[in-house]
Structure 1
Amino acid sequence: MPFYELTLITRSLSKADLVKALVRAGNTLLNQGAVIEKVESLGHRDLAYRRIAKQTNEKVYTSNMFLFWTHMSREMRESVDSILRQDLDTVHVGIVTNEEKEPIECNLEELLKPPAERQAVKELREKQKMGHFTRQIVFKRTEKEWRSIPKSYPIAPPRY
């Protein structure tokens, strides 16, 4: 079974109602066959943008946030999502696949090099494909820049 991170945002509730809402959400997960690994409270927070409470149609600016780490099948995910979205105490339900990803190697030294010296840029230049008209445009542009440089003035020798 895939590992999911379920974000549950409830409207502002008293402690007793909040416990009932969490128990309802947990029982929903367990009844559908999910395995709850961990439950974490993110506290009472301000929301990034306002939401609307389902029952009262009030604007919700702050709410309680919780994370459920669960294992469940993909079919269960859809049914759990629809059931929890219908709950009147929840404002938002988000279920995200939490797959283990390979650690990213740091290539800061490569990124700090000038583009002409980077290996990725060299590979792009070697593999680039340019059509006839693109080559013409590039040639005309460089020719125009070359012509714009005054060539009748002598270049002074460097001073030491």
Structure 2
Amino acid sequence: MPGFELIFITRRLNRTDLKSCLKRTGELILNSNGILRKIENLGTRGLPHKISSKIPGQKAQTTGNYFVYHLDVPPLLINEIHKSVRMDTDIMKVHFTEKTNKVADDYVCTLDDEHKPPMLRPSVQSLFRQNEERLRKSKKVISRDNE
């Protein structure tokens, strides 16, 4: 199956609604016999222009959450997935692009770790351990110099 990127912008949502929107989109891909390789959160950004809401009575959106899904799906299902994602009221814009290079097969998704507070993330904890080790080594050097 060829690789694609699904790029989409969601409305500004609270954490639980955003999580359910991302889960719905991911499940749609998986139910279409696709493989979801990676999810990238590009953050909350201002939109280049106001986008009117699909929900009647809501004001136009000026900011949104940007996401990229790296996926492998049969090319015949791209239009079906695109139509289904566009029907979601939480998603404002959707775009598919074909990838020229694929995500490595040994890539590990760390989305759950990224949602943790910084002090609980393994990457931050390893930085603290590295810093403590560096400080211990520098104290040994200082104590040798003082002797």
Instruction: Name which one, 1 or 2, has greater alpha-carbon Rg.
Output: 1
Q: Give the aligned partner of residue 72 of structure 1.
A: 73
Q: Normalising by structure 1, what TM-score?
A: 0.60
Q: Normalising by structure 2, what TM-score?
A: 0.65
Which ranges of 4 or more aligned residues in structure 1 deviate by more than 3 Å? none
- CA deviation after TM superposition for structure 1 residue 53, in Å: 1.6
Contact 1:9 1:91 in 2 (8 A): yes
Q: Give the aligned partner of residue 107 of structure 2.
A: none
**1:21-50 residue CA offsets vs partner (Å, 9 max, x unmatched):** 000000001001110110010011111122
Contact 1:12 1:62 in 2 (8 A): yes
Matched length: 100
Q: Hey, what's the Cα distance between the residues in 2 that align with 1:52 and 1:10?
A: 12
**1:102-152 residue CA offsets vs partner (Å, 9 max, x unmatched):** xxxxxxxxxxxxxxxxxxxxxxxxxxxxxxxxxxxxxxxxxxxxxxxxxxx
- CA deviation after TM superposition for structure 1 residue 92, in Å: 0.6
Matches within 5 A, 1:43-62: 43-56=43-56, 57-62=58-63
- Determine what percentage of the aligned residue pairs are the same residue: 29
Contact 1:33 1:76 in 2 (8 A): no
Q: Hey, what's the Cα distance between the residues in 2 that align with 1:75 and 1:55?
A: 30
Structure 1 runs not aligned, ≥5 long: 101-160
Structure 2 runs not aligned, ≥5 long: 102-147
Q: Which amino acid aligns with 1:48?
A: P
- CA deviation after TM superposition for structure 1 residue 58, in Å: 2.4
Contact 1:36 1:70 in 2 (8 A): yes
Q: Give the aligned partner of residue 93 of structure 2.
A: 92
- CA deviation after TM superposition for structure 1 residue 76, in Å: 1.2
Q: Give the aligned partner of residue 42 of structure 1.
A: 42
Q: Hey, what's the Cα distance between the residues in 1 that align with 2:96 and 2:62?
A: 21
Q: Which amino acid aligns with 1:58?
A: K
Q: Hey, what's the Cα distance between the residues in 1 that align with 2:50 and 2:70?
A: 26
